[in-house]
Structure 1
Amino acid sequence: MQIQQIILIIGAGVLALLIALFQYLYKAKSRSRRNLFFAFLRFLSVFSLLLLLIDPTFTQNTYINEKPTLLVAVDNSSSLKHLKQDQILQKMVQELKDNTSLNERFDIDYYAFSDALKDSLSLDFTGKQTNIYNTIDELNQIYKSNIAPVVLLTDGNQTYGKEYQFKTTKHTQQVFPVILGDTTIVEDLKIEQLNVNRYVYLKNKFPVELILSYSGDNTITTSLEILSGTRKIYNTTVSFSKEENSKVIKVTLPTIQPGVFEYKARLVPLDQEKNTINNTKNFAVEVIDQKTNVLLVSRISHPDLGALKKSIESNERRSVTIVKPSDIRKLDEYQLIVIYQPDATFRKLYEELKTVKKNVLTITGTKTNWNFLNQIQAKYTQAITGQTENYTPRFNANYSAFLLEDIGFDKYPPLLGNFGDIRINVAHDILLYRSISGIETNFPLLCSLEDNGIREAVLLGENIWRWRANDFLLTNNFESFDNFLGKLVQYLASNKKKSRLTTYAEPFYYGNTNIKIKAAYFTKNYEFDRRASVSIRIENKNTNSVKEIPMLLRKNAYQVDVSDLPAGSYTYSVHVAGENLSRSGNFTVLEYNVEQQFLNADVTKLKQLATNTGGKSYYIHQKNQLLDDLIHDDRYQIIQKKEEKVISLIDWKYLVLIIVGSLAIEWFMRKYNGLI
């Protein structure tokens, strides 16, 4: 309280006393005890009112003991169950919860993790992947301003993610790994990795690369087999020793007919081998009986040509041939014609296209002769101004020709095209709109046309190579752009009739990947319908079990995630409620559980992690030592904090009660004694 407020309070007291004495003693005819009581009440009410006007403030100090936070991150992946550590782990978690000394010293937060971090402890040990790096990184982000050591209960076996043992650059918390699992090195054969292309071509041989490993001290010999069903199609003898403990085997297998084919690579187990699951790897390939040949016709040299060729050929099922208009021979050999910046030299090509009726992708730019293009075809026309403009893409989420997601087109650099209105005279669907200097327009930048069964797409701007380069700058790869262009090429290279219901599913999925099936439903005007009720029926061919699941709307597609499906062959059918529409297909889930490939705990990495973060590693039987070290570690002290709170007297409700009470009693007593 300030000195000025103290002086005002003293003055208020003197003034209230003078008023009370003047009214009840100085002017009174007698000085009875009753008058003294009235004077006291008047003094109390006046003084209280004056205090409200002064409104003095007081400082209140509160002392709080703040405990450090202890984070307990528990591995919930299936490798713990496979290594028979799940019950041991649950018992230790319960002991941590019940330890009185630990709970008095720390505020304990519990987390479970496998492929992602969860702030709960519903442990079922069914996680298909483990990302320890991500777990440590997220905990560091959440508690970066706190003292929060991490007790990491895990076997240390990470299936994907960055190397977690080197996580020290920005990590401020100490990590105390508790190592679960067998640390004894025993003999074990393992197929570390199998590399094979998803798609191969009919009547071609396809390569399979296998990386094999052996842990043990003896010299052993075993067999590597590759089976198709029950038929053995490859067999070789492999030898390992303590010094020569890994080998790379390359095999080429033939293709006989188109379709999806499953194979099994197997290392014959040793007599005393404990874990034989990691001796086997299933894989599959889809044999394609036809390759998509794309003809790219251009009179000029431009970086776009190289970008288009590399992007299209990123899918091995496609090949691109670049020619000049004068060098064109047979169009029948190609499924798609790409016309780049046409001018009068393309006349013969356009005349031949009217005969062979091939689908076309047309790309225009500053070298395009629009006088010629407006005359040679009537599907679309461009106003000729002789000026150019930069056009920024804007994605149309209602595009209905095929399933496509926005890959961040608004972050792509503009394309350079001819300025002027464009008129499209046939049925069309706009995929990308033009934006000019930040102003959105309804004019197309990229659109697809369909007329008399012939499909065409028109891109009204050059420098598409910048889009592919920008994709690499944003994501460190070309995948998003190549997938976008690949879907456009796939749509144009196909002559299938447009359907109101389309579905998309891979022919096969590995057991450790996300299994997502998509569908798109359109109105009779072929506009994407977001109001539909779409469901999918999935049947397991092996067990005849059936699942019916509603498909959820995700952007411009209906989608369902069925990653929990066990290995097997499946058929599916997608239905729209209230419509006589359905689409069917099939897919295969290959058996593979990466969590069951481990035989031992990864002691080396966990010890490195502890050392690099300033913590310490423990084995499961050392849990008492862990608890004792945490409780007596001087780095984790209970901190006493002082909380200073300024309180205003006007907030003190009892003062109002005193004023009201003293005035009421004074009035009642005066009334009772006939003084009013």
Structure 2
Amino acid sequence: MSLISVLFLGIAVLLSAVAALGLYYFPRKKKSVKHWKYFSVLRFFTVLVGLILLINPKFEQNQVRIEKPNLVVVSDNSKSVRFLKGEKQTKRFLQELLQDQEIKEAFNVKSFTFDEELHFSRTPEFSGNASDPGKALKQLARLYPESNSPLILITDGNATQGTAPVYAASKYQSEIFPVVVGDTTQHADVYIDLLNVNPYAFLDQRFPVEIFVNYQGDASIQSKLLIKKGTRVVHETKLSFSADKQGEQVEIMLPAKRIGKHKYTASITPINQEKNIQNNQRDFYIEVVDQQSKVLILSSFLHPDLGALKKSINSNKQRQAHIKVIDELKQEDLGEYTNFVLYQPNQKFKWVFDYLDKTQKNYVMIGGTKTDYNFLNGIQSSFRKELKINQNEEFQAQLNENFSLYQPSKINFLDYPPLSDQFGEISNLGKGQALLQQNINGVATQQPVVYFVDSGQRRIGLVFGENLWQWRVKSFADLANFEAFDLFINDIIQFLGDNNRGERLKVDMKTVFNQGEPIRMQAQYVDKNYREDAQATINLRVVKQEDESIKNYSLNYVDGNYVTNLGALTPGSYTFTAQVEGENGLQTGDFVVTAFDIEEQFNHAQVSELNKIGDTLYYSEDFLSLKTKLLQTDVYKPVQRTLTKKVELIEFKWLLALWVLLLSLEWFLRKYNGLT
């Protein structure tokens, strides 16, 4: 208590005495009052207690408490523990640990489990579809940053996600005691470690499959890698392994003969006494598509631009360009093509424009010095070009920085040779954007060189200028390849070939998932004006083809996308239908869940990996050794701490109650004795 508080308390005693004597002793008429001495004492304490509460002095109060260190216990909840027969070992060890009285008295025991996430749970269920001990250790390092919170990690050491646990363990401030569970015997095993394949292939082409096969063992063995389509073997490779050769990379080319989704099975023939054959087989799916679109380059005369365009378009293996002269083309041939390049059209192109307008096909028109612009002004409405004088002009191109229809190639077009076209003014352009604009003698103009008309249902590309072949030559001169120019041309073809503009609901998801893998779907939805709509209700219906079972989901709007998690579905083939509530449009698709379970690919606990985490590796039967280590380590002893706390007198509620009681008692006695 401070000196000022003591001084104030002394003054309070004097004031209380003055108040009591002044009321009951000095006035003579009060002397005759019976029991005036008792009234004086009562008034003294009433005033004193009130003044003390008003002064509110502070006192120092010492609190002694025992602080026990935390003992963090985290158990592996993944299915691999059960697969390796470590379920009973884990439960027995946990029961001994959590029920031990000495451990309870020495530590605050905190229990967790982990699979792909960390969970606040005391009892593992061994149902996790993946294991990420590194992530769990990082989270626990943030929860318990102090250096006296030892951690017991009960696991088989098999991580199927995230970083290696040994790196995350180094971030934990206290000691980690790894406890290994499951079968630790290293059995001879041959298995498929990794399979790489592109999920799409083009019809009548060959697609690559890359398979990494590993071997654990010391003996020399022989095996076979088989690729099956149904029951038919489509490929076979002989394999040999030994103590010196523990792996082999196999690259295979398979033919894509039929359109559609096809299931293949890669398998390794088991070796003698192989315990785990679950990891000898893996399914993969290939969707064969006939998307090598045919592009028609149509002209009425030959020009170097035609060859340059064909080579650029053919550089994309998904496209095949054909050059045709208008006089040799038949109308029935147009149905073979998905993309159209009309090079310097004239009146002979009338029936082609009629066909494209009738079918609402997209196309790109390239104008130049031989283009009949008067004909084009009358046959189409995407632009007008009025020829003021019979003269040609040259100009360079520069990128329109405000172009936003797609990400254009990063080319400095001002360094490229000039293009040629007839002199005139371009006007009445349809709704769209310019990709390139004219630059004449270093002065930028608003006249377009490349322009896209986008009505929402149809796209038309307009290129004003010939001698594009010189741009391709310039690209090679600068970079020793044609890639920059070829990408520029193929971006135009790609943009004009996208006929999904009218689809307001678009669904994005993988087509193949492994068993136990979370299945996530993402969708985008725009309103009738093609603006993002965050208020829609999108429902999803998923049907398993094998048994026609149905599951329904709702998609939630998150950061510009509608998303949902279908959870872990059982292996099989599924179809889905996504529909916006109150709208007619819908999206359908399919996907496959394979029987591959990553948690069943191990044949023993990873003792060597767990040895790197702690100084000593413990087994499930070593509870007493671990207990002794924990109880005898001085760092983990309970600590007695004294906490000095300043307490205000007003916090003592009984003192306030005493003051009220004194006031009430005085008032009652005065009334009882007839005093006012």
Normalization by structure 2: what TM-score? 0.72
Q: How does 1:26-175 map to 2 (within 5 A)?
A: 26-28=26-28, 30=31, 34-121=35-122, 123-145=124-146, 147-167=148-168, 170-175=171-176
What secondary structure, in the 3-state scheme, does the structure 2 residue paired with 1:271 have?
coil
For residue 379 of structure 1, report the CA deviation from its aligned partner. Answer: 7.4
1:6–1:244: structure 2 CA closer, same or farther, 3 Å change rule?
same
2:417 aligns to what?
none
Q: Decide whether the 8 Å contact of 2:381 with 2:430 is kept in 1.
A: no
Q: Decide whether the 8 Å contact of 1:286 with 1:507 is kept in 2.
A: no
Matched, 1:454 2:458: yes
What secondary structure, in the 3-state scheme, does the structure 1 residue paired with 2:665 have?
helix
Name the aligned partner's letter for residue 665 of structure 1: L
1:209 aligns to what?
210
Q: Which moved more, 1:161-170 or 1:39-48?
A: 161-170
Matched, 1:23 2:23: yes
Give the whole-Å Cα distance in 1 for the aligned partners of 2:23 and 2:493. 102
Q: How does 1:39-438 map to 2 (within 5 A)?
A: 39-121=40-122, 123-145=124-146, 147-167=148-168, 170-291=171-292, 358=362
What secondary structure, in the 3-state scheme, does the structure 2 residue paired with 1:140 have?
helix
Give the whole-Å Cα distance in 1 for the aligned partners of 2:384 and 2:622. 77
1:518–1:658: structure 2 CA closer, same or farther, 3 Å change rule?
closer
1:144–1:251: structure 2 CA closer, same or farther, 3 Å change rule?
same
Highest Rg: 1 or 2?
A: 2
1:536–1:237: structure 2 CA closer, same or farther, 3 Å change rule?
same
1:245–1:622: structure 2 CA closer, same or farther, 3 Å change rule?
same
Give the whole-Å Cα distance in 2 for the aligned partners of 1:136 and 1:156. 13
1:670 aligns to what?
670
2:325 aligns to what?
none
Any idea what the Cα deviations from partners look like across 1:239-298, whole Å, max 9, x if unmatched?
222222222222221121222222111111123111100111111222232346999xxx
Q: Which moved more, 1:277-286 or 1:245-254?
A: 245-254
1:43–1:129: structure 2 CA closer, same or farther, 3 Å change rule?
same
Unaligned runs of 5+ in 1: 296-308, 322-330, 339-345, 363-375, 382-386, 394-400, 408-412, 418-422, 430-446, 459-485
Name the aligned partner's letter for residue 635 of structure 1: V
Q: How does 1:526-537 map to 2 (within 5 A)?
A: 526-537=530-541
Give the whole-Å Cα distance in 1 for the aligned partners of 2:186 and 2:343. 74
Matched, 1:639 2:643: no
CA RMSD across the alignment: 4.4
Any idea what the Cα deviations from partners look like across 1:78-102, whole Å, max 9, x if unmatched?
1112112223323322332212111
Q: Decide whether the 8 Å contact of 1:391 with 1:416 is kept in 2.
A: no
Q: Which moved more, 1:486-495 or 1:2-11?
A: 486-495
1:593 to 591, 597, 600: 597
Any idea what the Cα deviations from partners look like across 1:506-531, whole Å, max 9, x if unmatched?
33333364422344455555555444
Give the whole-Å Cα distance in 2 for the aligned partners of 1:380 and 1:554. 44
Any idea what the Cα deviations from partners look like across 1:469-516, whole Å, max 9, x if unmatched?
xxxxxxxxxxxxxxxxx9998664222572344434433333364422
What secondary structure, in the 3-state scheme, does the structure 2 residue paired with 1:185 have?
coil
Name the aligned partner's letter for residue 643 of structure 1: L
Unaligned runs of 5+ in 2: 297-311, 322-333, 367-379, 386-397, 415-426, 434-450, 463-489
Give the whole-Å Cα distance in 1 for the aligned partners of 2:12 and 2:159. 75
Give the whole-Å Cα distance in 2 for the aligned partners of 1:604 and 1:204. 45
What secondary structure, in the 3-state scheme, does the structure 2 residue paired with 1:609 have?
coil
Give the whole-Å Cα distance in 2 for the aligned partners of 1:517 and 1:450. 29
Any idea what the Cα deviations from partners look like across 1:99-153, whole Å, max 9, x if unmatched?
2111111112111111121223463322222112111111112222463221111
Give the whole-Å Cα distance in 2 for the aligned partners of 1:350 and 1:605. 74
Give the whole-Å Cα distance in 1 for the aligned partners of 2:295 and 2:635. 67
Q: Decide whether the 8 Å contact of 2:137 with 2:169 is kept in 1.
A: no
Name the aligned partner's letter for residue 97 of structure 1: L
Any idea what the Cα deviations from partners look like across 1:332-364, whole Å, max 9, x if unmatched?
9997799xxxxxxx99599999957645799xx
Give the whole-Å Cα distance in 1 for the aligned partners of 2:365 and 2:105. 71
Name the aligned partner's letter for residue 183 of structure 1: T
Any idea what the Cα deviations from partners look like across 1:380-425, whole Å, max 9, x if unmatched?
99xxxxx9998799xxxxxxx9xx9xx9xxxxx9x999xxxxx998
1:553–1:191: structure 2 CA closer, same or farther, 3 Å change rule?
same
1:389–1:529: structure 2 CA closer, same or farther, 3 Å change rule?
closer
For residue 31 of structure 1, report the CA deviation from its aligned partner. Answer: 7.7
For residue 596 of structure 1, report the CA deviation from its aligned partner. Answer: 0.4
For residue 595 of structure 1, report the CA deviation from its aligned partner. Answer: 0.9
2:607 to 582, 603, 606: 603
Matched, 1:515 2:519: yes
Give the whole-Å Cα distance in 1 for the aligned partners of 2:493 and 2:605. 48
What secondary structure, in the 3-state scheme, does the structure 2 residue paired with 1:635 have?
helix
Q: Decide whether the 8 Å contact of 1:536 with 1:548 is kept in 2.
A: yes
2:6 aligns to what?
6
1:32–1:548: structure 2 CA closer, same or farther, 3 Å change rule?
closer
For residue 38 of structure 1, report the CA deviation from its aligned partner. Answer: 0.9
Give the whole-Å Cα distance in 1 for the aligned partners of 2:293 and 2:137. 46
1:452–1:87: structure 2 CA closer, same or farther, 3 Å change rule?
closer
Matched, 1:538 2:546: no
2:657 aligns to what?
657
What secondary structure, in the 3-state scheme, does the structure 2 residue paired with 1:610 have?
coil
Any idea what the Cα deviations from partners look like across 1:599-642, whole Å, max 9, x if unmatched?
0001111011113xxxx320111122112212222221212223
Of all paired residues, the percent bearing the same amino acid is 31
1:629 aligns to what?
629
1:605–1:523: structure 2 CA closer, same or farther, 3 Å change rule?
same
2:578 to 570, 574, 579: 574
Give the whole-Å Cα distance in 2 for the aligned partners of 1:90 and 1:44. 66
Give the whole-Å Cα distance in 2 for the aligned partners of 1:139 and 1:152. 11
For residue 192 of structure 1, report the CA deviation from its aligned partner. Answer: 1.4
What secondary structure, in the 3-state scheme, does the structure 1 residue paired with 2:105 have?
helix
Give the whole-Å Cα distance in 1 for the aligned partners of 2:147 and 2:345. 70
Give the whole-Å Cα distance in 2 for the aligned partners of 1:587 and 1:667. 87
Give the whole-Å Cα distance in 2 for the aligned partners of 1:285 and 1:159. 25
What secondary structure, in the 3-state scheme, does the structure 2 residue paired with 1:642 have?
strand
1:488–1:186: structure 2 CA closer, same or farther, 3 Å change rule?
farther
1:169–1:664: structure 2 CA closer, same or farther, 3 Å change rule?
closer
What secondary structure, in the 3-state scheme, does the structure 2 residue paired with 1:136 have?
helix
For residue 55 of structure 1, report the CA deviation from its aligned partner. Answer: 2.2
What secondary structure, in the 3-state scheme, does the structure 1 residue paired with 2:25 have?
helix
What secondary structure, in the 3-state scheme, does the structure 2 residue paired with 1:626 have?
helix
For residue 546 of structure 1, report the CA deviation from its aligned partner. Answer: 2.1
Query: Matched residue pairs, number?
Result: 557
For residue 658 of structure 1, report the CA deviation from its aligned partner. Answer: 3.2
Name the aligned partner's letter for residue 156 of structure 2: D
